[in-house]
Amino acid sequence: MTWATPMLAAIVAAIAIPALVILYFLKLRRIPREVSSTLLWKKAIQDLQANAPFQRLRKNLLLFLQLIVLGLIIFGLAQPRSASSVSSGQKFILMIDRSASMASVDGQTDLGKQTRFEEAKKQAIELVQSMREPSMFSQGEKADEAMIIAFDANAEIITSFTSDQSELINSINSITQSDAPSSIAEAYRLAQAQRPKRIVNATNEAGEITESHELDELKGGEPYFFHLFSDGRVSDIDSVRAEEVDAQTTFEYHAIGSQSSNNIGLVALRSERDYDTPSKLSIFVAVQSTDSIERTIDAELIIDGSTRSVRSIDLPAATIDETTGQRTPASGGVIFELDEPNGIIARVRLDTNGNENPEADVLLSDNEATLVVPPAKQAAVALISTGNLFVGSAIQGMPLSRFDTITPAQYEENRVSGENDVYDLIILDGYLPKKDEFGSILDPGRYLILGEVVPPPYGVVDKGVGSGGSIIDWRRTHPVLRDLTLDALLLAENPIVEIPEDSGVISLAETASGPVILETSDADVRAIMVPFELTKTNWPFDVSFVVFLASTVDYLATGSTVAVDQNERQIVPGNVLSDRIPADASGVRVLLPDGSRSEELIPTADGRVVYGPITNAGLYRLRWRGTSAPTDVVEDGTNYRTFAANLLDPTESNVSTQSTIALANQIVTADSSTQRKRIKDWWPYFLMGALLILLFEWWVYNKKMYL
Domain with residue 422: its CATH number is 3.40.50.880
Q: For residue 627, is it within any domain?
A: yes
Please tell me whether residues 365 and 459 are part of one structural domain.
Answer: no
Sheet holding 368-373, edge to edge: 306-315, 295-303, 344-351, 368-373
CATH number for 282 = 2.60.40.10
For position 285, what pLDDT does the model report? 95
Please tell me whether residues 132 and 212 are part of one structural domain.
Answer: yes
Q: How far is CA 538 from the centre of its chain?
A: 46
Which amino acid is present at 553? V
d(CA 215, CA 684): 44
The SS3 call for residue 172 is helix
Please tell me whether residues 307 and 245 are part of one structural domain.
Answer: no
Mean pLDDT, rounded, for 113-139: 82
pLDDT at 88 over 50: no
The SS3 call for residue 263 is coil
User: Rounded to two decimals, what is the model's pTM?
Assistant: 0.69
The residue range of the domain holding 688 is 2-82+682-703
For position 184, what pLDDT does the model report? 93
Range in 18-27, 108-117, 308-317, 643-652 with the lowest mean pLDDT? 18-27
pLDDT tier for residue 678 given thresholds of 50, 70 and 90: very low
Q: What is the mean pLDDT of the chain?
A: 81
For position 423, what pLDDT does the model report? 92
CB proximity list for 166: less than 8 A, separation 6 or greater: none
Q: For residue 592, is it within any domain?
A: yes
Which tens digit of pLDDT belongs to each residue from 382-438?
999 877 778 888 888 888 888 999 999 999 998 888 888 889 899 999 999 988 877
Strands (DSSP E) contained in 407-549 are: 425-429, 445-450, 461-466, 469-470, 473-474, 490-491, 494-498, 505-511, 514-521, 525-530
Q: For residue 650, is it within any domain?
A: no
pLDDT at 13 over 80: no
Please tell me whether residues 302 and 418 are part of one structural domain.
Answer: no
Closest by Cα among 129, 163, 168, 133 to 150? 168
Q: For residue 397, is it within any domain?
A: yes
For position 216, what pLDDT does the model report? 47
For position 283, what pLDDT does the model report? 94
d(CA 4, CA 77): 9
For position 22, what pLDDT does the model report? 66
For position 212, what pLDDT does the model report? 56
Please tell me whether residues 35 and 138 are part of one structural domain.
Answer: no
Q: For residue 35, is it within any domain?
A: yes
Range in 177-181, 534-538, 672-676, 694-698 with the lowest mean pLDDT? 672-676
Q: For residue 283, is it within any domain?
A: yes
Please tell me whether residues 270 and 253 are part of one structural domain.
Answer: no
The 10 Å CB-count burial string (b at 16+, else e) for 386-412 is eebebbeebbeebebeebebbebeebe
Cα distance from N-terminal residue to C-terminal residue, the chain: 35
Please tell me whether residues 421 and 301 are part of one structural domain.
Answer: no
d(CA 302, CA 512): 46
pLDDT at 199 over 60: no
Please tell me whether residues 440 and 539 are part of one structural domain.
Answer: yes
For position 557, what pLDDT does the model report? 84
For position 653, what pLDDT does the model report? 92
pLDDT at 509 over 70: yes
Give the C-alpha distances (Å, rounded to integers) separating 624 from 207, 492, 586, 631. Answer: 63, 52, 6, 14
The count of structural domains within the chain is 5
Q: For residue 539, is it within any domain?
A: yes
Cβ atoms of 284 and 264 closer than 8 Å: no
pLDDT at 296 over 80: yes
Range in 73-82, 267-276, 568-577 with the lowest mean pLDDT? 73-82
Angle CA 574–580–585, to nearest 5: 120
pLDDT at 469 over 60: yes
The SS3 call for residue 420 is helix
Closest by Cα among 7, 183, 3 to 83? 3
Closest by Cα among 355, 369, 353, 365 to 301? 369
Residue that wins the pLDDT comparison between 697 and 605: 605
For position 607, what pLDDT does the model report? 81
Among residues 349, 371, 393, which one ends one of the domains?
Answer: 371
Please tell me whether residues 172 and 209 are part of one structural domain.
Answer: yes
For position 241, what pLDDT does the model report? 82
CATH number for 183 = 3.40.50.410
For position 79, what pLDDT does the model report? 67
Among residues 323, 347, 371, which one ends one of the domains?
Answer: 371
Q: Are strands 244-245 and 248-249 parallel, antiparallel or unpaired?
A: antiparallel
Please tell me whether residues 461 and 595 are part of one structural domain.
Answer: no
d(CA 96, CA 119): 11
DSSP letter assigned to residue 541: G
Q: For residue 657, is it within any domain?
A: no
Please tell me whether residues 76 and 96 are part of one structural domain.
Answer: no
Please tell me whether residues 310 and 448 are part of one structural domain.
Answer: no
